[in-house]
Amino acid sequence: MDIQLEKKKGLRPKHYAYIGIGVIVLFIGYQLLVGTSASTFRTEKDKLSIGEVTQGKFDDYITINGSVAPIATIYMDAYEGGRVNEKLIEEGAIVKNGEIILKLENSKLYEQILASESNLALKQNDLRSTKLTFDSRQVEGKRSLATAEYDLQRLRRNYDQNQALYDDELISKETYLLSKESYELSKKQYDIIKLQTEQDDALRITSLAGLDTDLSRMQKTLSMVYERLDHLNVRAPADGQLGFLDAEIGQNIGQGERIGQINVLTDFKIEAEIDEHYIDRVKRDLNATFERNGAEYELRLRKVYPEVRSGRFKVDLVFTGSKPENIRAGQSYNLKLQLGESSDALLLPKGSFFQSTGGQWIFVVNPSGGEALRRDIRIGKQNSRYYEILDGLEQGEEVITSSYSSFGEAEKIVLK
């Protein structure tokens, strides 16, 4: 008789397979769900700025803000230090070249002048004494030379006579030899006195020339000291307006200290600062324009300063034609600086997205308008209104141009 066996309760191997497949499916679904929520950002469409990519003329210019300044500024530094004794002109006044603005006093400089004058007087006295000495020696030398020359001629004549008499045996040999020796001694003495006289003359010339040079140098030094004394009167270096004056009566001012400036008002320039993004494209002689009271004025970029501070660099522009009436230093104008020629291009309106993406990518709205997907793009030039699109977008497409700071790492924006 067959015995019926009861089936064992529990999980069989195939059940483990089913459970494993279920776990894998749940894990994949969870990952998809988490991944989708992590890369998607939901927001209201009305809170965003959306721009359309268009085809048109790209004007290669930038808009910058500039302020009017004098065509030149001349700084006034103190040639000499001293105490402010008198202030003749106040800030903002119109001055003429050479007009005295301040008067300083310097007791040490006065002492230097007295010392220089005293040294010059001593040098002049030395020169006069030396000249007198040399003149006296020159006269004495000429007198000695004349006497020596007279003695030489007399003794030579006596020698010649005695030689003739001795040849005729009319005088003794001793008398002849004495006359000969006297003549030869006189000749040597004459040569010595003549040489000494010539040396004294040469010494006189060189010594007096050196003394004259020293005297001239001291006179020049004294003249320069007098100029320093005149520099205690601080004068305007040019015609213009006294821009600022940092000096008050009784104040001590050091030599070389900056005390003021003169604004030359014969013409004006415009100073502006530009973002360092354009530093490679901004060069001298670029043209710029601005409008005021319905009229357009033209300028030329004259100077580009190489130093960059806080992400900006300075430029100077000058007028090439007429200037606005009643132009004043400190006035501000919005300038249009032309960087290049206009050209056909895809245009994208400027927006805050650039700060987040650097122009490397953008969110493009799909045709239905329900979502926007991230897409890589390439931007070329830019002006105050548009970016030039080189790659990644097509005409008619819409993109989000407002800030992306709240989107995080989202790859897709769902628009409600």
Q: Do domains 40-58+343-415 and 62-80+265-338 have the same CATH topology?
A: no
**109: buried, middle or exposed (CB in 10 Å: 19+, 13-18, 0-12)?**
middle
* % helix, strand, coil for the chain, step of 5: 40, 35, 30
Q: What tokens does 69 get?
A: 């300044």
Residue type, 293: N
Per-residue pLDDT tens digits of the chain, which is 416 residues long: 445 555 445 555 555 566 666 666 665 554 444 444 448 899 888 889 999 999 998 888 888 999 998 888 889 898 888 899 999 998 888 899 989 999 999 888 888 878 877 887 887 788 778 788 888 888 888 888 899 889 889 999 998 998 988 888 888 899 989 989 998 998 999 899 889 888 888 888 887 777 778 778 777 877 877 787 888 888 998 888 888 888 889 999 888 888 889 988 888 999 999 988 888 889 999 999 998 888 999 999 999 998 999 999 999 999 998 888 888 888 999 999 988 888 888 999 989 899 889 889 999 999 888 899 999 999 988 887 889 999 999 999 999 999 998 888 889 999 88
Q: In the CATH hierarchy, which top-level class contains the domain 62-80+265-338?
A: mainly beta
Residue 35 has what pLDDT?
Answer: 45
φ, ψ of residue 250 in degrees (nearest 5): 95, -10
The answer to whether residues 249 and 70 touch, using CB atoms and an 8 Å cutoff, is no
Query: How many beta carbons lie within 10 A of that of residue 390, not counting itself?
Result: 13
Q: Is the dihedral of CA 86, 88, 90, 92 positive or negative?
A: negative
Name the pairing type of β-strands 50-52 and 398-400. Answer: antiparallel
Q: How far apart are CA 389 and CA 403, in angstroms?
A: 19
Structure tokens at 38: 């992590």
Phi, psi of 283 (to 5 degrees): -135, 170
CATH fold group of domain 40-58+343-415: 2.40.420
Domains of the chain, residue spans: 40-58+343-415, 62-80+265-338, 107-227
- 144/138 Cα distance (integer angstroms): 10
